Amino acid sequence: MLFQSLITPSIQLANRAVMAPMTRSRADDANTPSALIAEYYGQRATAGLIITEGTSPSPNGLGYARIPGLFNDAQVRGWKVVTDAVHAKGGKIFVQLMHTGRVTHVANLPAGAQVIGPTSTACPGEMHTDAQGMQPHSIPRAMTAPDIAHAVQEYAHSAQLAIEAGFDGVELHAANGYLIEQFLNANVNQRTGAYGGSIKGRNRFALEVARATAAAIGAHRVGIRLSPYGVFNSTGAFPEVEAQYLALTQELSQLGLLYLHLLDHSAMGAPPVPADLKARLRAAFQGLFILAGGFDRTEAEGALKTGQADLIAFARPFLANPDLVERMRAEAELNAIDMATFYTPGSKGYTDYPTLARRSAVPA
């Protein structure tokens, strides 16, 4: 099933292998995609669907060094080169909208941007800055009601720009401890009132973003990524986690979103998302269901054949294998991953991984 097409009224995909979003830190100094980024995604256009690296809808969300944005005209023009490269090879591509929130250092932000989050508590730990090396996360300013309303509109506006840039849709990053999950997660969100203190309060920001984005570009062009039981950026499970994510998923389904992308971090050492919760989330969501988390070809086939998912996302295998779909179809060996170049500038470890065709063309 992995190599079968998926055809719905909203989207047509050549196969069921999704390239998962992976931060690569190759944007230029103005957080604008370059020709190198277009080459990278164009190389991987045989994926059924590409979901880009996390891309900020706001200057305030550019927490990491050299991540791209999508909130101004120059960024639209840069991304248009990327989407053209993917579409020229018959691929489909969504942009993942990722506001880093409190997972930020001010040295990575452009002039005038602010570190914001649900509360004024800094994210534990450190992050890389090009200017100052490793630094503790900066202390955020707790978002006011106008701040929250502004952020919601930034997501909606960025989604409109995504369509202008040629994307087939957008994915809302509500996982991995970034801004939307900072509101969802009870370990991070210590607010009381409308945006905290209860399942309904913690879910409110995510639902407002999803609702505004769907209104801006159509729910059939919007997906969302969730990671219950994830621990990245000091999140982690909490007593109401399953009830909360079920309630969230039911409301997202009512909005008519295209897909729900569920990430299980257990392959990276986090607690697994219980199989029963995955099944209940799958049943609660009426759109397409994507599973991610350490799958190989055999495991992906099993999940598809048993109806656990409609699509399977692969992360690091796509990073090192531009022709991953062809390699999996042929049961060919995969390239080794160069972890030292995950986030470094330039083409090394980015666009220079060999394909089967390139390897076979080299004389013995």
Residues labelled as active-site residues? 178
- Integer-rounded Cα radius of gyration of the chain: 19
Strand partners, 133: 129
How far apart are the C-alpha atoms of 206 and 30, rounded to whole Å? Answer: 28
How far apart are the C-alpha atoms of 289 and 312, rounded to whole Å? Answer: 9
Strand partners, 172: 97, 224
Hey, what are 327's tokens?
A: 């390699």
For 125: left if phi > 0, alpha if psi spans -120 to 50, otherwise beta; the answer is left
- The CB-side HSE value for 37 (13 A sphere, CA atoms) comes to 30
How far apart are the C-alpha atoms of 304 and 110, rounded to whole Å? Answer: 43
- In this structure, the dihedral spanned by the alpha carbons of residues 332, 20, 322 and 160, taken in order and rounded to 10 degrees, is 150
Query: Which residue type occupies 44?
Result: R
Query: Of 288, 291, 318, which is closest to residue 303 (Cα–Cα)?
Result: 291
Q: To which H or E segment does residue 42 belong?
A: helix 35-43
Q: To which H or E segment does residue 263 belong?
A: strand 259-263
How far apart are the C-alpha atoms of 201 and 55, rounded to whole Å? Answer: 26
